[in-house]
Amino acid sequence: MLSDVALAPVDSTRPPWPGKPVQLADGASFVRTTPGGPGAEPTLYIHGLGGSSTNWTDLSALLSPWLDGDAMDLPGFGHSDPAPRGGYTPAALARRAAQLIEHRDRGPVHLVGNSLGGAVSVHLAATRPELIRTLTLVSPAMPDLRPRRGSDPLLPLLVFPGVSAIAERRLLRMNPRQRAQAVVDLCFADPSVVPENRLAEAEAEVERRNQLPYAMDAFVRTLRGLIGSYLAPGAGSLWRAAGRIQAPTLVIWGRQDRVVDASLAPRVARVIPDSRLLVLDQVGHVAQLEKPETVARAVLGMFAETADEASAG
């Protein structure tokens, strides 16, 4: 079975995969490509809030014998241009991802999303099912307005225009290493597992983004767009969207997730019609970074299961 195949060891010294801007209808999106082996199938990876396409370096490498991967920087993150006005909601980001799939003419794709990227992926899979072959959600940011103990106390402040400037000033007073370390401390169950070179990469990315005039605005608008989507009624709800997903789906969650409560995991798996659930102990919000081998095996296991079902049918 695919889930039993030997995976190449994770090479934590591997630099981010190369990429380039791709001009789409709504602007230029930077896309990193992990070339696949013979017969590899197209894949799209979508990162979370504050992340970038580099969040998929190790996982995409492990899956490259089977998956030919594109990892996009969402608008205003990584090396992508900022979005046009109103372009930071999950629905708008899903449209941008659909544009990339259509531009690359590689659909349907295996879609993999983490956190915000998971919410975007839910919207995309529900509204454009013809573009999606399978769906993998890693701690997707599904609607949940309950306060989280242990989460970043500055994030709620950024939601409200009247006080967001206070939070922004606090963030900007932190040096790049402090901000990179704060993200690791929040997102990883065990921050000590992060290699020094990866932390240095994150620090350099913070320093680079500090020079971009739109970086903080993109972060704040994306956060507000996500929270705003939580309040969408009826058919506009992400929970309703999840119920319309047709693709075989794998839901992965870290039990020690301090960003999106792991108690949501069973509900997400229950709402999506054809889904399977994997909850990992001693893992936080970014399982693809903390346990890339485990995530890769789970993805391959879903492929094997769906292939068996197709042959049996």
Task: Tell how far CA 238 is from the center of its chain.
Answer: 16
Provide the mean pLDDT of the chain: 90
Q: Are the CB atoms for 236 and 219 separated by under 8 Å?
A: no
Give residue-wise pLDDT tens across range 2-36: 556 789 899 999 999 999 999 999 899 999 999 99
Nearest to 150 by CA among 182, 118, 173: 182
Q: How far apart are CA 26 and CA 49, in angstroms?
A: 19
User: What number is the average pLDDT over the span 126-134?
Assistant: 98
The one-letter amino acid code at 188 reads F
Which pLDDT score, from 0 to 100, does residue 107 have?
Answer: 85
Residue 154 has pLDDT above 50, yes or no: no
State residue 307's pLDDT score.
80
CB atoms within 10 A of CB 215: 16
163, pLDDT greater than 50: no
Q: What's the pLDDT at 157?
A: 43
Please measure the distance between the N-terminal and C-terminal CA atoms of the chain and give it in whole angstroms: 18
Mean pLDDT across the stretch 57-76? 97
Return all residues near 255 (Cβ < 8 A) that are at least 6 apart: 262, 279, 280, 281, 282, 283
Mean pLDDT, residues 158-181 taken together:
69
Give 63's pLDDT tier (boundaries 50, 70, 90): very high
Return the minimum-mean-pLDDT range out of 136-140, 141-145, 238-242, 297-301: 141-145
Model pLDDT for residues 232-241, shown as the tens digit of each residue: 887 789 999 9
* Sheet containing 249-254, strands listed edge to edge, beginning at the edge strand earlier in sequence: 19-24, 27-34, 67-72, 41-46, 109-114, 132-138, 249-254, 275-280
Tell me if the pTM is above 0.85.
Answer: yes
Q: What is the pLDDT of residue 266?
A: 98
Eight-class DSSP state of 31? E
Weakest mean pLDDT among 140-149, 170-179, 190-199: 140-149
Q: What is the pLDDT of residue 311?
A: 61
Reply yes or no on whether the pLDDT at 156 is more than 90: no
Residue-level pLDDT at 37: 93
Which of the four pLDDT bands, split at 50, 70 and 90, describes residue 173? confident
Q: What is the mean pLDDT of residues 98-114?
A: 96
pLDDT, tens digit, 9 for 90 and up, residues 90-101: 999 999 999 999
160 pLDDT tier (thresholds 50, 70, 90)? very low
User: Which residues, including other chains, have CB under 8 Å from residue 137's CB and lie 6 or more apart?
Assistant: 113, 118, 121, 122, 249, 250, 251, 252, 268
Confidence of residue 171 (pLDDT cuts 50, 70, 90): confident
Domains assigned to the chain: 2-312 (3.40.50.1820)
Instruction: For 259-298, write each residue's pLDDT tens digit.
Output: 999 999 999 999 999 999 999 999 999 999 999 999 999 9
